[in-house]
Structure 1
Amino acid sequence: MDVRGKVVLVTGASSGIGAETAREFARAGATLALVARNELKLRTLAAEVGKAHVFPADLGDPAAVTAMADHVKATVGVPDVIVNNAGAGLWLFADETTPEQFREQAAVPYLAAGYVTTAFLGDMVRRGSGRIVVVNSPASRIAWPGAFGYTAARWGLRGLVAALRADLRGTGVGVTEIVPGKVSSDYFANNPGSEQRIPRIASIIPTVSPEQVARALVNATRRDRRRTALPVMMRLMLGAAWASPSVTSWLSTVTGARRS
């Protein structure tokens, strides 16, 4: 897809991967619809990149997503690309997790991606073109201890991607999944204690920057790719998880977090 002049909606655009993705698409000539809860950060980013519109919304609330989608359609039209990037959630063991915390961890990113996608998908299918991009995590393939709700939500995202591909075959609307390793964003600063629960085996995978993820995402969108993982060691790890799931699961568990 040539993204010049296309409308690209980016969720979680106020910081990290989302903000860098918006900058990368802006450099490629796209018109941006920026979505997140923090309106001030969105407006600051919009002023920086130009050709951007701000749509603050709580993506865990289906009514708020519907209202946001109506506003986007009335302002810039139906997006050509939707980047489901919004994600949050403290890493907790299952027995540390309250029902409310589990609901929050499922709401963003899993339910949010479903709400945003379905809010626009009918129009995209009728048009016969477009691309849904989902930013996922290695936890969608490899479960590790101490991140129960986070991991469950990412496996849910993986299922959402698979279901979309099955439903959208032949419609002209494609689906791309991006799976980066550890990213040097503010995610762990916003979720204290979570970084210490990364399995030790993951230290063999270099950390990537939000800028690297954004470049890979835009490149995958341009090439209509089904999936991109980065860095190279992440691709090898996911390949090992596919080829030897029991061994990979054992390694992530024995090198993973322990209760204090």
Structure 2
Amino acid sequence: MLQDVAVHSADTPLPDPFDPSAMRAQYRAEGLDETDLAPSPYDQFARWFKEAAASGLHEPNAMVVSTADAAGRPSSRTVLLKRFDEHGFVFFTNYTSRKGRDLAENPYASLLFPWHPLARQVIITGPATRIGRDETAAYFRTRPHGSQLGAWASDQSAPVASRAELERGWAELAARYPEGEQVPAPPHWGGIRVVAETVEFWQGRENRLHDRLRYERQGDGDGWAVVRLAP
């Protein structure tokens, strides 16, 4: 009995494995229903975050932070989430960096957690504010010594002449603050808290009919409405 065999003639080009238009994945994850959701988006995020971490996903706290300047020109970068609770989502940065300058001019941000191996995304939008200096200092003390020095050595987003210049500045700081000596938190460095106005939970489904459930804050209180969005 003959079997079906794919035949390519010399005139038929083979599919290009590096062609993005030919790259497809079929999502067959279990669905996300309104009845499955926690009462608040923070509780629901905690559920999914724990599952992402338990799955062995590399850096489940990595998120894409998008900002825009006063003229509306957007920019994005990957940053690590360091804290979340019912008050918001916190990350740390140099306030003179591009995102720091953007947020000073236009204090709103979008956070995207791209948990691709789980066919999940979480998208958070809301106003962004600086956290208190005491809170920043407390977190700074938990950072590895080298990372503390790095916060001083790098004028984030500013042009630097060479890698050697960057490392020379770090070495000078290492001599000034040897291992074991307390390094003060830089005044231009600190935390940003994004207070959620919307939180969307995206679950990949078959045939591109994904589940998208978005919490929307109601007024100035703690009430939330859930809206299902078309994929």
| Bin for the TM-score computed over the shorter chain | under 0.3
Pick the structure with more strand per residue. Answer: 2
When the two structures are superposed, what TM-score results if normalisation uses the length of structure 1?
0.19
When the two structures are superposed, what TM-score results if normalisation uses the length of structure 2?
0.21
Pick the structure with more helix per residue. Answer: 1
